[in-house]
Amino acid sequence: MRVRSILKGFKPYSWETSPVEVVKKFGLSIDKILRFDTNTMPLIPKEIIEEFKSAIQNIKINEYPDPSYMELREALSNYLKKDVDEICITAGCDEALDIISKVFVEPETNVIISSPTYAMYRIVVEAMGGKIVEVLRKKDFSDDVEKIIEIVDENTRMIFICNPNNPTGNLTPKNDIIRLLKDFPEIPVIVDESYAEFAGESLIKFTNDYENLIILRTFSKAFSLAGARVGYIIANAKTIKILNIMRPPNSLSVPSLTLANIALKHLDIIRRNIEYILSEKEWLMKAFKNIKCVEAYPSYTNFILVRFKDLNVHDVYEKLLRQGIITRNVSDMPMLENCLRITVRTREENNFLVENLKNICYG
Ligand code: PMP
């Protein structure tokens, strides 16, 4: 079969560990599996599910969704204080990345990322024939903005800023992003705010000032809806119009749209859940401080990057896995030797993780 030449040597996304496979491999029961690897919420808001159960009775599943996704855009417009024309709904933030690269990337052009960062940026760009230019972060994981500015050339088609960054958890100062937006008005600056609700910081108020500012958001993290696959883009209405050229029809399911709409009616619950996770993060940080082989990095998200001293990260990963604890091994990423990324979960689950880490470290 003749496939695109690009596929030769193409490094695909390194999939998260499958819970079903862990169950089979270690003879565990599926309810013993704890996913500390996906940066999702451990809490399922009961009220949202109850309302969904009654809403689903009236869903016309034989029909496609409303092609404009207007109901959800209106609800988001209310939540974000943005016009409906400044919002584009996508099947998760990952589909937004696909749309954006189809709009901006051509073969032999380049896209700048601040490395280490979310792996899908590389994949969507390379899939379009573009080249990734990695600018290594500084020692404290802050973006090397001077270097980014220096490296931009006439072939640069996008700059990605993951804010806060996955997997390092740090925030990029607003002024650094504004500087890029101002210095390069022709280059889209993609600000991935998938974890912004945990940081309490956002650049959405600037989309009217900069046509090249494209913000990505998701319902997968703070809104507890990763399984529904709903995300959205916020940008200047002119920019959204361009992005819509590549938006596929009907990529969101009617049940997913319904869930997102219901979730937006329960912002009080969502905010409460965020507060809970933030306080659990503080608890985990303190607990990590007391384990001598663990170094935890500060985080503005619902996950913590940890580095192991005097232990092999692959051994730690495997020992946790045997207990049903799945973490994200990020140790093959630049700067992240011996590191795991750990999602904040409930107190009981966090405690189970901490006890296991203590056993591994002192056992
Ligand atoms: N951006 C970042 C930084 C992420 O961490 C993730 C998911 N892990 C995504 C985008 C994709 O999110 P979604 O579930 O909305 O596709």
Residue-level pLDDT at 15: 85
Ligand 1 atom closest to the CA of 219, numbered from 1: 15
Tell me the pLDDT tens digit for each residue of 292-327. Answer: 999 999 999 999 999 999 999 999 999 999 999 999
Q: What angle do CA 245, 249, 251 make, to 5 degrees?
A: 120
Task: Give residue 38's identity as a one-letter amino acid code.
Answer: T
Tell me the pLDDT tens digit for each residue of 97-139. Answer: 999 999 999 999 999 999 999 999 999 999 999 999 999 999 9
Ligand 1, from 166, 217, 343: best to mutate by most atoms within 8 Å of Cβ?
Answer: 166
Tell me the pLDDT tens digit for each residue of 208-248. Answer: 999 999 999 999 999 999 999 999 999 999 999 999 999 99
Which residues are within 8 A (CB) of 31 and not within 5 positions of it... i.e. 6 or more apart? none
Verify whether ligand 1 is closer than 6 Å to residue 194 (CB atom): yes
**Distance separating alpha carbons of residues 146 and 140, to the nearest angstrom:** 15
- Ligand 1 centroid–CA 309 distance in Å is 29
Count of beta carbons in the 10 Å neighbourhood of residue 3: 8
Residue-level pLDDT at 14: 85
Residue-level pLDDT at 17: 86
Q: Is 234 helix (H, G, I), strand (E, B) or coil?
A: strand
Residue-level pLDDT at 16: 84
Tell me the pLDDT tens digit for each residue of 80-91. Answer: 999 999 999 999
Rounded mean pLDDT, 333-354: 98
User: Residue 267's pLDDT band (boundaries 50, 70, 90)?
Assistant: very high
Q: Where are the beta strands (DSSP E) in the chain?
A: 34-35, 87-90, 110-115, 131-136, 156-162, 189-192, 213-218, 231-235, 294-296, 303-308, 325-326, 328-329, 339-343
Ligand 1 atom closest to the CA of 96, numbered from 1: 16
Which residues are within 8 A (CB) of 143 and not within 5 positions of it... i.e. 6 or more apart? 114, 135, 137, 161, 172, 176
